[in-house]
Chains A and B, each alone.
Chain A
Amino acid sequence: ETGVTQTPRHLVMGMTNKKSLKCEQHLGHNAMYWYKQSAKKPLELMFVYSLEERVENNSVPSRFSPECPNSSHLFLHLHTLQPEDSALYLCASSQVFGTGMTYEQYFGPGTRLTVT
């Protein structure tokens, strides 16, 4: 596998379910990100992990819980979601330097989440 992979590609869950999204990067990067892509809205940054430490939690509801066990893997744990959480969830990775600058981010294909 090359680049950034995400599983599952599609997920349908009820509001009382608990599920997890998985992301893996094969690029040797030191930072990983979760974004939410909804129709007619800009990509919304949810979480940033740089060197496996969470750098930013963009006021995301606690029903979303990230986990980054190492620099190659990132999870997004979901519980008691709402229908408005239905969206495409994108994972990305990049190489971040001491200044906080990044060259570019590489994106996975996303998980299409539908909450019923």
Chain B
Amino acid sequence: AQSVSQHNHHVILSEAASLELGCNYSYGGTVNLFWYVQYPGQHLQLLLKYFSGDPLVKGIKGFEAEFIKSNFSFNLRKPSVQWSDTAEYFCAVNGGQGNLIFGKGTKLSVKP
């Protein structure tokens, strides 16, 4: 069965620290991969996506993610976080019926 695993439940960083959030997926077909972000009290928003081509994808607000097929991974990175990056981050993979399968999410708290 398809699944998405996010390794960290809660990450706490100071401003300017580098961020890497892990995501591994299990899916036998062609994958589309996504990172969504949910700021406190706001909608889920798309941060970035991978469909094909360059495995290093860049998203909004300085985020990037790298698709490593051999590792079944799609880790999210940002070189220097800001307080405004405090949010919950969700990794997702296409589920084959047009739906997405989400990981449990990682809460990021950035201390000013």
Instruction: Show the binding face of A for B, using Cβ within 8 Å.
Output: 31, 33, 40-43, 45, 48, 50, 55-56, 90, 92, 94, 96, 100-110
A104 and B105 within 8 A (CB): no
| B98 touches which of A42, A90, A94 (Cβ 8 Å) | A94
How many residues belonging to B are interface residues under a CB distance threshold of 8 Å? Answer: 25
Instruction: Show the binding face of B for A, using Cβ within 8 Å.
Output: 4, 30, 32, 34, 36, 42-46, 49, 51, 90, 94-105
A42 and B43 within 8 A (CB): no
B99 and A103 within 8 A (CB): no
| B100 touches which of A50, A105, A110 (Cβ 8 Å) | A105
A96 and B98 within 8 A (CB): yes
A48 and B97 within 8 A (CB): yes
